[in-house]
Amino acid sequence: MLALCKVGNRREAEVFRWGLIPAWMKEVPKSGGFINARAETLASKVSFRDAFRSRRCLIIADGFYEWQKVEGKRKQPWFFCLSSGEPFAFAGLYESWKPPQGEPVNTCAIITTQANEIVAPVHDRMPVILPPDVYDSWLDPANRDIRKLTDLLRPYPASEMASRAEFPILRII
């Protein structure tokens, strides 16, 4: 995935492997790493605490999917985006993990929060979408005010989002 990080005084685009692997892990977890990190526990969970303090990134996207349970085990995909259609940035964390042998691997996770009113009928959580006016504060590794950083991790306003069902499930009678 493409993400922006702060390097010196400027933002730099980096390519990350989705699935954060904390630097202290000896091997890749069977799950492949942590794809999501709950906003409510970032400051306390050992897996995310250090990255939350100083390795935050913006993960660039133009939308995301959630799957709604329908009859039986079937699921209906829903696409969520900004009403404007513009790209946006998820709040993310990153790590540079070094395997016992080989080159370091840059990994990342998307931060999630409670769903807003547009996502809630489909799923109880959603990725944190950050407004552009907080990008610099989020990216600044010198910003270690955990309370202020945590305050940024709230549901995006539903009034500024749109959704649509994708690949409609056909019912054959």
Q: How far apart are CA 168 and CA 162, in angstroms?
A: 17
- Distance, CA of 10 to CA of 67 (rounded, Å): 37
Q: How far is Cα 65 from Cα 107, in angstroms, rounded to an integer?
A: 21
Mean pLDDT for 1-6 is 90
- Whether pLDDT at 41 is above 50: yes
Distance CA 92, CA 59 (A): 6
Instruction: Break the chain into its structural domains and give their ranges.
Output: 2-165
Q: Report, as an integer, the average pLDDT of 135-140.
A: 96
- Is a pLDDT exceeding 50 seen at residue 172? no
pLDDT for 111 = 98
Q: What is the pLDDT of residues 43-60, one digit of tens each?
A: 999 999 999 999 999 999
For 2-165, CATH gives: 3.90.1680.10
pLDDT band at 173 (very low <50, low <70, confident <90, very high): very low
Confidence at residue 69, expressed as pLDDT on a 0 to 100 scale: 87
Residue 73 predicted with pLDDT over 50 = yes
Bridge partners (DSSP) of residue 143 are none
Residue 9 has a pLDDT of: 86
Mean pLDDT of all residues belonging to the chain: 92
Amino acid at 119: V
What percent of the chain is predicted at pLDDT more than 90?
Answer: 76
pLDDT value at position 1?
Answer: 87
User: Higher-confidence residue: 118 or 71?
Assistant: 118
Task: Say if residue 170's pLDDT is above 80.
Answer: no
Q: How many CA within 13 A on the CB side of residue 109?
A: 23
**pLDDT given at position 169:** 53
The tokens for 4 are 């922006």
Residue 168 binned pLDDT confidence (cut-offs 50, 70, 90) = low
pLDDT bin (cut points 50, 70, 90) of residue 100 is confident
